Structure 1
């Protein structure tokens, strides 16, 4: 693994960070009291959503790797929680190459120690913000071959980008760099499935200084404009099972999820 960060970055423990709150929701220990304070105020459903997101990522990554894609760009990586994306993928394709990106310095420290590739493959990490897609892609090109299909993973990330920061344009810019046969994997918190719960979660994150931009199904669907959604299309995270049938009575979820192919 390599990184473009020349010296150990300073970790700001005075402000909550989405990656560390997410770690707390998953039962992790790599967070600070300020992150725990946000998590403690959230309804129990927030922990369910974090788990559902993680499980969707596992299924989607495995589905794509099973189709021969051996390059992944995971933006908004979060604190490493096993199994990580590269572990899922390299079980199926040992030579797979994975680039992780996140904007929290603590993620970088853990990534350097824990996101270790199989000998046949490669993992790499960049400390970067999704709002700088140019920086992410420039670094990823050093590791990934953008002349062949790449899977772009944006799991539970874009609802941290409010409308005035043009989340849809950010995703368009990232997808525009991908060749035909690539995939976009995206999950996003819904504002229209459980409106009262969404409003509560948004308010509690705001108290911790974290802005959220939950979106309706049509708004989430716009992230996939121009792409070919694979079955079962844009559904909730607990309804996406790729080629396999979903459970007859899937668990309720306030998270939209989809996988789409770049034509």
Structure 2
């Protein structure tokens, strides 16, 4: 994965030719597979085959994808209603209904959002997302989460968000694609850059509820992916959020976080994704 890609496009994003040159249809990509599980059309045969293989072993996975996206929407709504007007959505994935800026700007049209992703398919859709957004309130960075300083020092971020004021950083279903110990370093660097009163929104896959046989099967199911999958335990995730104030109900299944609706037919254990919102004191 790369950091910024040179571009002569006015949006600051790679040109269409640059994007097409970076798309690899021979290996599954998490963003495209996630899109498939959500019922989207922005995926390739290899992504659908990978998605079906994983869902064949873990039938709750498509429901987990939907529960995860719904969690992100509820978290943004919760924070926007409490006065947060700046959002940094890292590893945003393919646009769909309920994008972060749409949820936040329904509450305050002047809410500002910076999206960060480095998948070329996501970048191809970013132009349409930016065209439909309010000018100067939404930006998109072609950056890699593994380079947090590159994100924090990007001119498009500094021209959209004021890091001296509270910001909500969304790390939704992205850290589980990064191997240990990088997630700890990444989260620590992002936290250091945020003003008091900022928030971290986190969701992450876990193997806490899997039997040994299913746990052992996970690496093989993602062996040919563009990136690996690294589930983490509840204790691992609490360590990432150490020193922050967890918003009630704390670190729970994304299915259950402040969800007044029917959680669906799958249990929290079957969903296998933790979610939390935490405040920087």
Using structure 2 for the length normalisation, give the TM-score: 0.85
Instruction: Decide whether aligned partners of structure 1 residues 60 and 197 sit closer, same or farther in structure 2, where only a CA change above 3 A counts.
Output: farther
Counterpart CA distance in 2 for 1:198 and 1:28 is 28
Deviation at 1:203, TM superposition (A): 2.5
Cα pair 2:222 2:228 within 8 Å, conserved: yes
Does 2:175 correspond to 1:158?
A: yes
57, 60, 76: which one pairs with 1:45? 60
Superposition pairs for residues 73-112 of structure 1, below 5 Å?
73-112=88-127
Using structure 1 for the length normalisation, give the TM-score: 0.91
Does 2:225 correspond to 1:217?
A: no
Does 2:73 correspond to 1:61?
A: no
Superposition pairs for residues 1-263 of structure 1, below 5 Å?
3-8=11-16, 9=18, 10=21, 11-43=23-55, 44-116=59-131, 118-119=133-134, 122-139=137-154, 140-164=157-181, 166-195=182-211, 196-241=213-258, 251-252=267-268, 253-263=271-281
Structure 2: runs of 5+ lacking an equivalent: 1-8
Counterpart CA distance in 2 for 1:156 and 1:101 is 13
Provide the alpha-carbon RMSD of the alignment: 2.3
Counterpart CA distance in 2 for 1:22 and 1:174 is 25
Cα pair 2:14 2:123 within 8 Å, conserved: no
Counterpart CA distance in 1 for 2:29 and 2:72 is 21
Cα pair 1:73 1:153 within 8 Å, conserved: yes
Instruction: Decide whether aligned partners of structure 1 residues 197 and 257 sit closer, same or farther in structure 2, where only a CA change above 3 A counts.
Output: farther
Matched residue pairs, number? 260
Counterpart CA distance in 2 for 1:143 and 1:2 is 16
Cα pair 2:247 2:279 within 8 Å, conserved: yes
Structure 1: runs of 5+ lacking an equivalent: none
Counterpart CA distance in 2 for 1:162 and 1:81 is 27
